[in-house]
Amino acid sequence: QPCAISEEAQIRNAAAECVGLLTYIETETMLPYLDELFQNGSMYARWTVADAMKLIFSRRVASSDHEVLGRALSNYLGPLLSAVEVDVRKAAIMATSNIIHRNPALIVSPCTNSLTECTILENVMPELLKAMEYRERIVIDVGYYKLYEDRGLPLRSQAMACMDTLLD
C-alpha cells in the first residue's frame, strides 16, 4: 500500500497498473484491497483506485465477474467522478470511458448504492456533465508578466471524449 499512496506519480502509476491488472485476473481476491485503498481517503489513494479501474476495464471483463465488478463500480465511480481533485476526476473519467467502450453492459447495470432504481450510467451522467463545464483558471506570476492556466481543460477534454464514446 505505500506505493499506492506515494506522492510520486510514477510510483503510483506502477502501483495502479499492478493493482488494475491483478484485479482483472483475480477479481475476488483483489477487490478487498481495492476497497481498502478507496477507504483510505487520501487523494493519492483515490487516484490510484481510479487509475486501476481504468486498467481493469481496458479489456473485456468475463461475464462471471460482471456482478461483482458492477457492485464495485456502483461504490467507486460516483465518488471518484465527484472528487475535489482534478487529477482524480480525470482518471475516473478515463476509467468511465474504458467501461463504456469495452464493457457497455456494465455501465448500464443496476446501481446498488442509489436510493432510486437506476443504472450506473444514470448515476454518473450528472458528474460527466459537470466535468464538461468545469473551469479552474489559475494565475502564475513569472516576474514581468503573468501566465494563465486553465486546469479544467484536461478534465473537459476527457469528459468530451467519454461522451463521444458514449454516443458512438
Q: How far is CA 83 from CA 36, 165, 168, in A?
A: 17, 22, 27
User: Is 70 exceeded by the pLDDT of residue 136?
Assistant: yes
pLDDT, position 70: 84
pLDDT band at 116 (very low <50, low <70, confident <90, very high): low
Secondary element (H or E) of residue 140: strand 137-141
pTM over 0.95, yes/no: no
pLDDT, position 115: 63
pLDDT, position 167: 83
Among candidate residues 168, 76, 167, the one with its CA nearest the CA of residue 127: 76
Q: List, for residues 42-91, the tens digit of each pLDDT value.
A: 889 999 999 999 989 888 888 888 888 888 888 888 889 988 888 899 99
8-state DSSP, 147: E
User: Is 80 exceeded by the pLDDT of residue 24?
Assistant: yes
Do residues 124 and 96 lie in contact, with contact meaning Cβ atoms separated by under 8 Å? yes
Average pLDDT of the chain, as a whole number: 86
Q: How far apart (Å, rounded) are the C-alpha atoms in residues 31 and 45? A: 14
